[in-house]
Amino acid sequence: MEKYVLEVNNVSIRFNLSKEKVDNLKELIFKKIKGEKIRFNEFWAVKNLSFKLEKGDRLGILGLNGAGKSTILKIIAGVYKPTTGEVVRRGHIAPLLELGAGFDPNYTGRENIFLYGSVLGFSRKFLEAKYDEILEFSELGEFIDVPIKNYSSGMKSRLGFAIATVVEPDILILDEVLSVGDARFRRKCEKKMQSMFDHGVTVLFVSHNLAQVQRICNKAILLDHGNLIAKGEMNEMAELYRKKIEG
């Protein structure tokens, strides 16, 4: 049996930022026909990042805005493909990145349970069996038959969280998702998270709420402009992060 459930090996990702606005493919073709050059700025959001997590590790990813925190989560979740390096995942991943980002605004909450659930890899049969559990956790009641476009951001997040956590994954990816909704619902989400922790789920967590990261995580890494500058125990990394914030 493999020791690590997640391995991030020398991962880098490069984005090309255009200096000139090109709205569509047609405009791009015209510029090429005219011999105009489209100039790009290369931007490395993550550079040669490596770390490994064992089952039950709970890793906080710390850093100021632009450090690459959300980008590395999206690489691990498979949203982005790294430019170099590799990510080795073992087991089922539940990415709670942008809750409800996969919803169709014109469909009802009920319809989106099956749409979003399928995006997360759940079968229709499984979702039908778990439907009542999802509805109960989301607390949407009769709003489940209202189109998503009429939902508040909190309602969408509640439904997204309820769908994504209906099965206990091996790896759970959290990006600011515990900051949504009212205080009571946040406590409810944290309680659900804790039950997963008790079953040995491996967690990657990004939040601007350092106290929350410290409550949840036992390890942390500190990023600066895509570079790993420190890794270790949570409390030690939190102290380093505070010093960095204070300048």
pLDDT score at 180: 58
Of the pLDDT bands very low, low, confident and very high (cuts 50, 70, 90), residue 205 is: very high
Distance between CA atoms of 79 and 173, rounded to whole angstroms? 12
Number of domain units in the chain: 1
What pLDDT digit, counting tens, does each position of 116-136 carry?
A: 888 778 899 999 999 999 999
Residue 36 has pLDDT above 80, yes or no: no
The backbone torsions φ and ψ at residue 104, rounded to the nearest 5 degrees and listed phi first, read: -95, 115
Single-letter residue type at 47: K
Residue 209, both tokens: 């709420």
Of the pLDDT bands very low, low, confident and very high (cuts 50, 70, 90), residue 56 is: very high
Among positive and negative, which fits the CA dihedral 120, 8, 228, 232? Answer: positive
Report the chain's mean pLDDT, rounded to a whole number: 86
Q: Give the closest residue to 166 by CA, choosing from 211, 216, 120, 231.
A: 120
Mapping DSSP onto H, E and C, the string for the chain reads: CCCEEEEEEEEEEEEEEECCCCCCHHHHHHHHHCCCCCCEEEEEEEEEEEEEEECCCEEEEECCCCCCHHHHHHHHHCCCCCCEEEEEECCCEEEECCCCCCCCCCCEHHHHHHHHHHHCCCCHHHHHHHHHHHHHHHCCHHHHHCEHHHCCHHHHHHHHHHHHCCCCCCEEEEECHHHCCCHHHHHHHHHHHHHHHHCCCEEEEECCCHHHHHHHCCEEEEEECCEEEEEEEHHHHHHHHHHHHHC
pLDDT score at 4: 93
Q: Give the closest residue to 145 by CA, choosing from 177, 110, 181, 171.
A: 110
CA angle 232, 236, 237 (to 5 degrees): 65
Of the pLDDT bands very low, low, confident and very high (cuts 50, 70, 90), residue 27 is: low
Q: Is the pTM of this model over 0.95?
A: no
CATH number reported for the structural domain that contains residue 237 in this entry:
3.40.50.300
Residue 25 has pLDDT above 70, yes or no: no
Higher pLDDT, 37 or 199: 199
What pLDDT digit, counting tens, does each position of 208-245 carry?
A: 889 889 988 999 999 999 999 999 999 999 999 998 88
Residue 35 has pLDDT above 70, yes or no: no
Distance between CA atoms of 83 and 37, rounded to whole angstroms? 24
CB 8 within 8 A of CB 50: yes
What pLDDT digit, counting tens, does each position of 151-187 carry?
A: 988 888 889 889 988 888 899 888 876 665 677 888 8
Residue span of the structural domain in which 172 resides: 4-246
What pLDDT digit, counting tens, does each position of 98-119 carry?
A: 666 678 999 999 999 999 888 7
The backbone torsions φ and ψ at residue 56, rounded to the nearest 5 degrees and listed phi first, read: 90, -10
Average pLDDT in the 64-75 region?
Answer: 91
pLDDT score at 19: 52
Distance between CA atoms of 100 and 4, rounded to whole angstroms? 30
